[in-house]
Structure 1
Amino acid sequence: MKTILKLFTMLFCVVSFAQTTVKGKITDNTGLPLPGANIVVVGTSSGTVSDFDGNYSLTVEQDPPFSIRVSYTGFQVQTIEVTANNQTVDVTLEEGNELDEVVISASRTPERIFESPVTVERFGLKEIKNTASADFYDGLENLKGIDINTNSLTFKSINTRGFAAFGNNRFVQLVDGMDNSAPALNFPLGNLLGMTETDVQSVEILPGASSALYGANAFNGILFMRSKNPFDHSGISGYVKRGITLQEAAGDNDFTDVGIRMAYKFSDKFAAKVNFGYLKGTDWYATNYDDKDRVGGTRESNINYDGVNIYGDNVSTNIRDAAPAQFQPLLPDVNVSRTGYAEVDLTDYNAESVKADWGLYYRPWANDFEIQYVGKIGTGSTVYQGAQRYRIDNFFLQQHKLEIKNDNFFVRGYITADKAGDTYILDALGPNLLQQWKSHEDWYGDYIPAFIGATLGGATEAEAHAAARQVAETGRYEPGTPEFQQAYETVTNTTGFLEGSAIRDNSKIYHGDANYNFGDMVEFAEIQVGGSYRTYKLNSFGSIYADENGPILYSEIGVYSQLQKSIELNETLDLKLTGSMRYDKSELFDAFLSPRISAAITVNDNHNFRASFQSGFRNPSTQELYIGLETALGTLVGGASDIGDRFERDYSVSQFAQNNLGQPSSITQTAAAAYTNSLFRSVEGELTNENRDVNSNGREFIGNPNYVKPEKVSSFELGYRGKIKSFIIDASVYYNSYNDFLSNETVIAPLYGNVENFDLTGYDPNNPASVGGLNSDTQQILAALENEDFNGYQTYTNSEEKVNSYGAAIQISTKVFDGFDLSANYTYAKLDFDVNKNPDFRTSFNTPDHKVKASFGKTELFKNLGFNVSWRWSDNYFWESSFGDGEVPAFHVLDAQVNFRIPSFKSTLKVGATNLLQDEYFTAFGTGFIGSQYYVSWTINNL
């Protein structure tokens, strides 16, 4: 027994001797503590991070001497030797510059941004803490080349290099490697359901095509958000923001934003974290009551008024055509629209976001090999604008990821699922709310005789229209009344846009990807290989997609390889070559190859010149493939080649066709008719044109757009990064060429008659007898058009037109006045497309030619006191979308913040304001004016 005790005592002494503790404090060259600095034992994964005061303590099972490596973003790395147990090592880090920051996204491997082969923007911990914006996501707007289109208070859409939209499916957003696009929408919802601010490690943005490494839809840019690993960042941190939003239309409204992060490193093998965020406020009211078609006037002066943010007044008809034949001579040939409801009466503008995520991290051998499970859930309410205005209410998104990784590889799989909640479409709510009170037929049935009676009584035409509207509007459901509320509840809870406005959805994405870096195994170059697999499961129960008979499933796969080689040409010149190639195959389309080639030359480690060519592609979105929405104004159908197998409807046939053409009382038509048996919508007006050439064969009227296929882009870029004296410069120019640009085409498909035989040779619209000389199919189609035996479709197809764009961006930053940070950047973007030659083609470039941004501040103006001011200016531009087109005037915005550190409480107080000058503006036609935000925030222990 004594022998055993002696052995235990000896073993205990050995273990005790093997444990070495080193402690100290990490500061910058001004003496300011650096919380969250990384301290790692060289050659191992053992390490820790400094606390809020810059202090650290590290205990390792290793005898001195050994070295520790101390790093902090934006500062130069230091390596210090530890020679004794319980040694105190205080480290002062010298501030570097943004060129020294490390990025991962550009090449899927860590590298200095200075040496990146393509343009990349980074937003790290320092920028997050110093941003004057109300949250870190808004702060991205100050980066060069980055546009943020504000849809509402909680929904912002990031875009780069033009072709902007709120439903931006040309831009990918990855959070810890997971695409956080909502499956039903096929685009990211900004940060509505994304990361909490205290868990953000860094944000990187790659402007331009990135398909060579990231596959489909990394077309115009890709955003990477990385969270903090609990092994490196443990502890409890949080923030509280309180303030008000100011808008002329909405008044002053409170908003609250809180977040908490809890992370704990149980041992060198196991760590975990939990995050929670909650935001509540009031969205920007949308009160644009201009006529949507820019005809002008108001409801009082324009009988066919269609207000931008008015819904229901898009119901319009020609009152002469709608009247019985005997009364038609008494009516003018004019269109009259119904009186709609304002958006402020159809939504409460409650902006809310509730999100949580958690992660379990396991390192079985206490080294860099890690197994992690991450779960995310979020729900929220906001206003979204796409082809229509949507009230997204109680939308729910969840993600679950399992990943195995180390420094050389990763294998991950995740699932994304959404539920639409109580979401509804305002453009459908308006007309169907009116129908609940009085059908469109009855409304015009009241309007027309009242108009005739007024004119026969001596009223002028304008007076007769006013009197007729007053009669037709008698008994209208007014907002706030029980009748209105009951009708509102009925429509917003009913799917099918002929009667309701609700969206139902429970779609999913299953995704897996892997990457291996052979850098440790191959000496002559760094070689990476990887691939991905994705399956979509669309399940909207027929409310969005053509899936009323069951979910729609389709898959896509991709593999890629990259080779990167650095060559030392001489003592002052280094050459870095990068080549990538990716193969992608969707089961719906042909395979696609995406190459990327770049070369970068570094001169004296101060100047880096780069050139690159890369290609990208975008698979049509889920809606562009399989949307199937039947509305009172027509049917929206996707362009997948099997859409006809999934969407069909029975349509009533006119009595004329039954009696004279032998047609049945109803005909079943599938969505395939829009692509295989259709005419352009303009054919109706052209056929009645008295000046039409009677010898025209009519082939120009045949629609039959092609089914969709992927968009393609080729991108050329030149760039420079470098340091000239005290100035840091980052500049680039690019040229993009797009093929097979996806766009909409509106057609009509007759219920009978083959359009391939449509021949109008000899047809005279002024001579009805000329119809008799036409072939049978042409006669039937003309009869179908005359008797409205056709269905209107909005289709998706690829344009044969080539679309090009080019641009440039430059940023210059320096320190002035003894340590003040000053930076400014300029972005130029231009569409190279002849609009005059293609007046019906909408590119939706939606980006100003010129943007200027600048910031000025200092992290330590006085002890523990810092500030930052940012300003940006945007040139005017024209916004195009299927919702509406309009001019976006030039605007400038000033944001500012002052922060005060309280070391004794490990916290920071910040007082800030966005749009400090209160010049309200908007970034897209149809959205609310963006007002001002004033806030006070308290952040605790945010490392």
Structure 2
Amino acid sequence: MIKKILMGAFLLLGSTVMVAQTTISGTVNDASMGGPLPGANIKVSRKAVGTTTDFDGKFILEVTDTPPFTIEISSLGYQTQTVEITKNNQVVTVDLKENATSLDEVVVSASRTPERVMESPVTIERFDARAIKNTSSPSFYEGLENLKGVDINSSSLTFKSVNTRGFASFANERFVQLVDGMDNASPALNFALGNLLGLSELDVKSVEILPGAASALYGANAFNGIMLMTSKSPFNDQGISLVLKTGLTSQQAAGDNEFYDVSIRMAHTFSDYFAAKATLSHLTGEEWHATDYRNTTGIGGTYIPGTRNPENPQPGDDPAYNGVNVYGDEVVTNLGGAIGRVSRTGYNEVDLMSNEAKSMKFGGSLHYRPLGNDRVEIIWNSKYGRGNTIYQGQNRYNIANFFMEQHKLEVRGKSFFVRGYYTGEDAGDSYDSRFAAININNEWKSNTQWFTEYAGAYLMTGSHVQARRIADTGRLMPGTPEFQQAFDKVTSDPDLITGSKFRDQTSLYHADGNLNLRDYIDWAEVQFGGSYRQYRLNSFGTIYTDYDGRIMYDEFGLYSQLQKKMMEDRLKLTASIRYDKAQNFDGNFSPRVSLAYAAGESKNHNFRASFQTGFRNPTTQDQYIGLATGASYLLGTAPDNLDRYSVNLEDGNGTSYEVTGRDAFERAFSATSVNNFNRSGDVNDLNKSNFDLVSPEKVTSFEVGYRAAIPTGDNKLGVDLSAYFNDYQDFISIKDVFVPLYGTFDANGNPDADAERAVRNGDLAEFGFRTNSNADVSSYGVGLGLNTKIFNGYTVGLNYTWSKFEFDESSDPDFEPAFNTPEHKVKLQFGHPNLFENFGFNVNLRWQDEYYWQSTFLQGNVDARTVLDAQINYEIPSIKSVFKVGGSNLTGQEYFSAPGVGAVGSQFFVSWTINN
């Protein structure tokens, strides 16, 4: 149906009928392996007219062009060749040579101009359609983890967060993901959606990852790295492709569960002028269940001894138990005397979330070439996605029926592009699991009544176990109609005082462009570009302080780059500079300078050095969030946000006080001083908090590297070595403060007697402010990648990454850097794409050591792990099919990407890919 609609649209635009005038035939062979090369592409240069070789490597191409003209013969992983056609019925024979190493692949993102990986002025990693075929991971997105220096953290089965060079979180605001030039991040929730709503693997042309600062060309937030995913053009990749994938996820907590992943891609070239494509993907499965019931010190805290099964309390359990994946038990009070601190009985996460993983995504694009060749192309691209996943931020969020759409209009040519796109989202039925539990508890018994009954029961029985059982009388039990009724009511209510639902219809508008002057000047390659973005926050007051309407703000940037080759093209200088200005902040310059020198007779030894800078604008949440988390209140510090937020709170005697964002900013105690006072009881330990409004954070980066393709008999050893040092300024972080419900401070910052009394009585409100740290933070590391072929075409790869950071804690004791990256990572690859006719295999092994994870949800050690993935594949060219059987984490040793998430188990899959 879609194809018919697109066909009709193109006919209305006046597609033309082609009449064959020239016939070319021939054979394409594999120069390295010998024999025919099926599936090679043959096309007229600069046009969409083309065909592919059959099972025997033969082709026939009929075109309207009259000789002389040029055809291009190419295949993924091979060096492209051109042949001059001088007559009709010409017969050609071509032997394509395979790229010696991955360093021969061409990339665009490093300098916004085509260049081999070998020549790139900065570190870059690449993943293409051939790598997708060979990946042993269940999806191409997960296969990115096998690249050097790349980490993937799993918040759930379908929520994967890509990161490079540390300082990671699941939101990962310091790493940018672009899909066909469009930012893949949620404009409201600030996390990149990964491939939940991204590209179908059938439509991936290439993925390029630049670790480290990339702001000079890509602007704000390309701070720790950027990933650019590019889809296939319908002019170059035509036909209908289909992949059917199914298998099992296996986890101790969830058992064995089936998953299904189906994708179809349709692309057609109607003429030299018009082409279109459409993709549709659907995935269903079961999320990794989160069942960590260890006791913690609270939200953002750490593990402590003492656990309790909420369904079966035992003597000696901690009455103030706060389980990791148990929610509602954050509600705690001090009942005094022999009773002490007591928490309400919570609900397990598995009873609060459906754990249904689901993704449905559609993409369509129309392509028009007004000149009949690829010199100018106009593209309209639309993407729609809806899905379920689990996201871990301050709390654990059930993202249900989340919807996102993007629409782009782009005009691009040989030396320029101009594009504009719109991103809109709707949170759907998403909700906060912590508030769901808190307010389900309040549905059947108020906190006041529950704690009163608990205290009375304890005074009568002297037993915490008996007191809890009496207070829990009437508790709604999961699985009952009464529980479901309360659950449905709470999760559909957007007021966090009584409900847990997110409302969000935030959108953004973005435009950017680039012009390369290579057609006008020849002494150097000079580029200019710029971008503009406007955010329109619309959470209806549930996430942001947009109670009375949308909050709108904008930012823009301009950049230029010069690239000059010297010394017989052996020395390449690349210099870039960018200026960015956001509405709420001062402007920022981001320069980058790099030198690359190609040594050796064949220029196969490349040395490089670069100086780069990056910056990150505060996110929408950093500026305008106003959210109760259950234990504290998060507040953004844009200049106009402090006076937007207020909350009414009661002291221990039931007296109500209004606390505004301005109060919390101007009259609060630092968290460290309150903690010191709680230990010492000395009022002299109390200090007024003092910090600034949030501003952009910055990084200065120095990098050196070496790439080489070293001959080793009939093959070459690819070497990619790099080392970097990063120095950070004004790291954005959350600063915790405690606001006394009553009392004030004098001009010197000293609290009065009422404020001191509020601390003693515990009449405090905890606020988390987005601000900048004055901490001295730096990071450094080394990456080494080796790859070659041995014996009779076996591919072998090894990469190692060493990452380290330094932090002077005395410069800011309250600052938590959240480096969240193992110091050592080793990744191995071994396989053969054609072990015997049409049969290949690939094995990947990853090891990383233990490290400490810091986040606003929970902190703790992430254990060392070794993960083994493997796949075998068999190709049947006669039906244009590839069958693959594989599995990830084949050893079955479950592991946690971070404290609080579900343990990652094993995943087994079988797939059938047709005509890709």
The normalised TM-score by structure 1 is: 0.90
Q: Which amino acid aligns with 2:72?
A: R
Secondary structure of the structure 2 residue equivalent to 1:623: helix
Q: 2:718 aligns with which of 728, 738, 758?
A: 728
Paired amino acid for 2:288: W
Q: Which residue in 1 is equivalent to 2:326?
A: 310
Counterpart of 2:197 in structure 1: which amino acid?
Answer: L
- The alignment partner of 2:642 has SS state of helix
- CA–CA distance in structure 2, aligned partners of residues 881 and 839 of structure 1: 16
Q: Which runs of 5+ in 2 are unaligned?
A: 1-16, 298-302, 309-313
Whole-Å separation in 1 of the counterparts to 2:501 and 2:19: 69
Mapped pair 1:400 → 2:407: yes
Match of 1:581 in 2: 577
Q: What amino acid is the match of 1:20?
A: T
Partner deviation per Cα, 1:859-891 (whole Å, 9 max, x = no partner): 111111111111111111111100000111111
Does the 8 Å CA contact 1:396/1:418 hold for their aligned counterparts?
yes
1:147-166 matches, cutoff 5 A: 147-166=151-170
Q: Which residue of 1 aligns with 2:829?
A: 855
Deviates more, 1:622-631 or 1:193-202: 622-631
Query: Is the 8 Å Cα contact of residues 498 and 632 (structure 1) preserved in structure 2?
Result: no
Tell me how far apart the structure 2 counterparts of residues 17 and 249 of structure 1 sit (CA, whole Å). 63
Distance apart, 1:316 and its partner CA = 1.4
In the TM superposition, 1:76-225 aligns within 5 A as 76-96=79-99, 97-225=101-229
Alignment pair present for 1:804 and 2:778: yes
Match of 1:824 in 2: 798
- CA separation in 2, counterparts of 1:32 and 1:892? 39
Q: Tell me, yes or no, if structure 1 residue 264 matches structure 2 residue 268.
A: yes
**Contact (CA 8 Å) 2:622, 2:770: kept in 1 or not?**
yes
Kindly indicate whether the alpha-carbon contact (under 8 Å) linking 1:477 and 1:484 is maintained by their aligned counterparts in 2.
yes
Q: SS of the residue aligned with 1:89? A: strand
- State the partner residue of 2:74: 71
2:851 corresponds in structure 1 to 877
* Bigger CA radius of gyration: 1
Q: Residue in 2 aligned with 1:296?
A: 305
- For residues 174 and 523 of structure 2, the distance between their equivalents in structure 1, rounded to whole angstroms, comes to 36
User: Is the CA contact (8 Å cut-off) linking 1:494 and 1:500 kept in structure 2?
Assistant: yes
Moved more, 62-71 or 625-634: 62-71
Asked if 1:617 corresponds to 2:615, the answer is yes
Partners in 2 of 1:632 and 1:934 — Cα distance?
39
Aligned-partner SS, 2:573: strand
Q: Is the 8 A contact 1:210 1:614 kept in 2?
A: yes
Alignment of 1:542-941 (within 5 A): 542-569=541-568, 574-604=570-600, 605-651=603-649, 668-684=658-674, 686-687=676-677, 692=682, 696=684, 701-725=687-711, 726-757=716-747, 778-785=752-759, 790-835=764-809, 840-941=814-915
Q: Which residue of 2 aligns with 1:58?
A: 61
CA distance in 2: counterparts of 1:227 and 1:903, whole angstroms: 24
Following superposition, the deviation at residue 71 of structure 1 comes to: 2.8
User: Mean alpha-carbon deviation: is it higher for 261-270 or for 866-875?
Assistant: 866-875
Structure 1 window deviating more from structure 2 (15-24 vs 72-81): it is: 15-24
More displaced stretch, 927-936 vs 49-58: 49-58
Q: What one-letter code is carried by the residue in structure 1 that aligns with 2:728?
A: Y
Give, as a single letter, the amino acid of the residue that structure 2 aligns with 1:861.
L
Query: How far does residue 334 in structure 1 lie from its aligned partner after superposition?
Result: 2.5
Query: What stretches of structure 1 of length at least 5 have no aligned partner?
Result: 1-14, 321-330, 456-463, 657-664, 761-776
Residue 324 of structure 1 is matched in structure 2 by: none
2:50 to 38, 48, 51: 48
Return the alpha-carbon distance in structure 2 between the equivalents of residues 479 and 654 of structure 1.
32
Q: Distance in 2 between matches of 1:89 and 1:848?
A: 53
- Equivalent pair of 2:395/2:629 in contact (CA under 8 Å): no
Q: Which amino acid aligns with 1:94?
A: K
Deviation at residue 69 of structure 1 after TM alignment = 2.8
Per the alignment, do residues 75 and 417 of structure 1 end up closer, same or farther by CA in structure 2, a change over 3 Å counting?
same
Q: How much has 1:682 moved relative to structure 2? A: 4.7
Per-residue deviation, 1:779: 3.0
Match of 1:364 in 2: 370
Q: Secondary structure at the match of 1:188?
A: coil
TM-aligned CA distance change 1:577 to 1:685, over 3 Å? closer
Shift in CA distance, 745/37, structure 1 to aligned 2, threshold 3 Å:
same
Instruction: Report matched runs for 1:213-612 at 5 Å.
Output: 213-293=217-297, 294-299=303-308, 300=314, 301-320=317-336, 331-332=337-338, 334-367=340-373, 368-455=375-462, 464-569=463-568, 574-604=570-600, 605-612=603-610
Q: What amino acid does structure 2 have at the position aligned with 1:551? A: R
Q: CA deviation at 1:80?
A: 2.1
| Structure 2 CA distance for partners of 1:517 and 1:756, relative to 1, 3 Å | farther
Q: Deviations over 1:349-399 (max 9, x none)?
A: 100000000000000111220111000000000111111101000000000
Output one character per residue of 1:638-658: Cα deviation in whole Å (capped at 9) or x when no partner: 1211112322345568889xx
Using a 3 Å threshold, how does the CA distance of structure 1 residues 449 and 254 change in structure 2: closer, same or farther? same
- C-alpha contact (below 8 Å) 2:674/2:738 kept by paired residues: no
Asked if structure 2 preserves the Cα contact closer than 8 Å seen for 1:865 and 1:900, the reply is yes
**Residues in 1 aligned to 2:139 and 2:478: alpha-carbon distance in whole angstroms:** 35
* Identity among equivalent pairs (%): 51
**Structure 1 residues 36 and 554: alpha-carbon distance in aligned structure 2, compared to 1, 3 A threshold:** farther
Give the conservation status (yes or no) of the 8 Å contact 1:172–1:187: no
Contact 1:677 1:756 in 2 (8 A): no
**1:564-584 CA distance string (max 9 Å, x none):** 001125xxx710000000000
- Structure 2 vs 1, CA of residues 229 and 750 (structure 1 numbering), >3 Å: closer, same or farther? same
Shift of 1:348: 1.6
Distance 1:34 1:501, change over 3 A: farther
Aligned mates of 1:655, 1:448 — CA distance in 2: 17
Q: Distance in 1 between matches of 2:555 and 2:54?
A: 46
The answer to which of 839-848 and 96-105 deviates more is: 839-848
How much has 1:66 moved relative to structure 2? 3.5
Aligned amino acid, residue 369 of structure 1: V
Residues 399, 414 of structure 1: 8 Å contact kept: yes
Which shows bigger deviation, 918-927 or 33-42?
33-42
How far apart are the structure 1 equivalents of 2:24 and 2:701? 51
Contact 2:847 2:867 in 1 (8 A): yes
Separation in 2 of the partners of 1:734 and 1:591? Answer: 26
Secondary structure of the corresponding residue to residue 92 of structure 1: strand
Distance 1:631 1:71, change over 3 A: closer
CA positional deviation for 1:90: 3.3
For 1:839 and 1:781, the matched residues in 2 are separated by: 23
* CA spacing shift, 1:877–1:685, aligned 2, 3 Å: closer
Shift of residue 17, structure 1, vs aligned partner: 11
Residue-pair matches, total: 878
Shift of 1:933: 1.1
The Cα offsets for residues 52-106 of structure 1, whole Å up to 9 and x where unpaired, read as: 6455443444433443232334222322232321223232211112111100000
Answer yes or no: is the 8 Å Cα contact 1:849–1:877 preserved in 2.
Answer: yes
Q: Quote how far apart the aligned CAs of 1:344 are.
A: 0.9
Structure 1 CA distance for aligned equivalents of residues 832 and 692 of structure 2: 57
Matched-pair contact (CA < 8 Å) for 2:249–2:257 = yes
**8 Å contact kept, 1:576–1:600:** yes
The secondary structure found in structure 1 opposite 2:172 is coil
CA distance 1:655–1:808, change in 2 (3 Å): closer
| CA RMSD across the alignment | 2.1
Deviation larger for 108-117 or 28-37: 28-37
**2 CA distance for matches of 1:632 and 1:824?**
46
